[in-house]
Structure 1
Amino acid sequence: METSSSGAVRTGAFDLRAVLRRWPSLLGLTAAVLSLATGVNRESVAIVVCVAALCYLGAAASRRPWVAWAGIVGGSLVVVVSELAGLVWWAGVGVAALALVVGGLLGRVPRLALTAQTAALAGFGGLAVAALFPAPRVGLALVGVVLVSHAGWDLVHYRRDQVVPRSLAEFCMLLDVPLGVGAVILAVTG
């Protein structure tokens, strides 16, 4: 083991600090692999899409980027509580989204960011929910494509470093692309 001039710990060609700087990528990729390994279906992938979009909306509505990370847990709780209350999970996501929009408007957050994130949730989330209604394989392919397209949204926010932390956008890209592509492959190969 040696130390480079930048202070990075190197083992041969392996740079531990470089790997640790990419922790959001590693976390996103790990989540995608675990999801694929434990079995995905159109509903589980649709939930990922909707919770991801809800995280972005929460950050825009609060004007606090870190809220997006908390939104992963918050959005997941919305799904669970909705189902425990006897509602379909996506209705709970809709109620949470409405509350965030109203809170953002009352808090006078910038309208452009709030409007963009609301439209993104309506678009990505609407397509994800629509994927629950056709045949299971068609729905899985559709929601996989929606999830991969959400990675484009992540990339925009990563490059601009706005609304959400870059670390969350990076995490989402490395979750969305492998999980979405995996869902499409599973849908096609059956």
Structure 2
Amino acid sequence: MTTLHGRRVSALIHRWPTAVGLLVALGAVLGGADRDTVATTVAVAASCYVAAAAFSLPAMAWLWIPIASVLAVGGAFVDLDPVVTTGIVVAVLVVVGLLRGASRPALTLESAGFVGYGVFVTAALLLAPGVGLVVAALTLIAHGIWDVWHLRRHRDVVPPSLAEFCVALDIPLGLAVLVLAAA
């Protein structure tokens, strides 16, 4: 019995990224996740992957979450939308990555991902609020699928724990926002 209990506890501890992702998603829903919040979440999440590729350091993805969050909020002090601020910062990250000699395939992949998600979140912000919220939520869900792909195939770019955290944040939050938007 003790061994079985120990295995269960160990399995739960091993799934901490999922637990944290779900808690952050719940907090966002309870905080009233709106179009801007969801769009910023996508931009920050995608920027973490670019940061990891630019520095050729998977752990940078975790470190980048608070950095990108502070920069996104800080941009508001100079009247820059958080998505625009994040886009500017990602451009700087790409230059830094190129100057550092980062892996071109990884930097290209993650930069292309950021641009793709950036196009959709920018469109979400330009559309009517209700439609924009749905587009932002669908983009967040799509980013969750990107996270699953990284978790399965690209563990060398970002830590599996970050991809797992993002799956647990992106997909449930996107689905909850869709349900709330339909209500």
TM range (shorter): over 0.9
| Pairwise CA distance, 1:181 | 0.5
Q: What amino acid is the match of 1:9?
A: G
Matched, 1:85 2:82: no
- Which amino acid is 2:177 matched to? A
Deviations 1:17-59 (A, max 9, x none): 1111100000001111111112110000000000000000000
Give the TM-score normalised by the residue count of structure 1: 0.92
2:143 to 131, 136, 150: 150
- Assess if the C-alpha contact under 8 Å between 1:56 and 1:68 holds in 2: yes
Matched, 1:95 2:88: yes
Deviating beyond 6 angstroms after TM superposition, the runs of 4 or more aligned structure 1 residues are none
Report which of the two has the higher share of helix.
Answer: 2
For 2:6, the aligned partner's letter is V
**1:161-176 equivalences in 2 (<5 Å):** 161-176=155-170
Instruction: State the SS of the aligned residue for 1:163.
Output: coil
Q: In structure 2, give the amino acid aligned to 1:86.
A: D
Name the SS of the counterpart of 1:92 in structure 2.
Answer: helix
Task: Indicate if the aligned counterparts of 1:58 and 1:68 stay in contact, CA closer than 8 A.
Answer: yes
* Rg larger in structure: 1
Partner of 1:119: 112
**In 2: Cα distance, 1:93 partner to 1:34 partner:** 22
1:18 maps to which of 7, 11, 25: 11
Shift of 1:169: 0.1
Partner amino acid for 2:3?
S
State the partner residue of 1:50: 43
Aligned residues between the structures: 182
Q: Structure 1: how far apart are the matches of 2:27 and 2:182?
A: 20
2:39–2:83: 8 Å Cα contact kept in structure 1? no
Counterpart code for 2:167: M
Q: CA RMSD in A?
A: 1.3
| Matched residue, 1:130 | 123
Aligned-pair CA distance for 1:94: 1.6
Structure 1: runs of 5 or more not aligned: none
1:3 CA displacement: 2.2
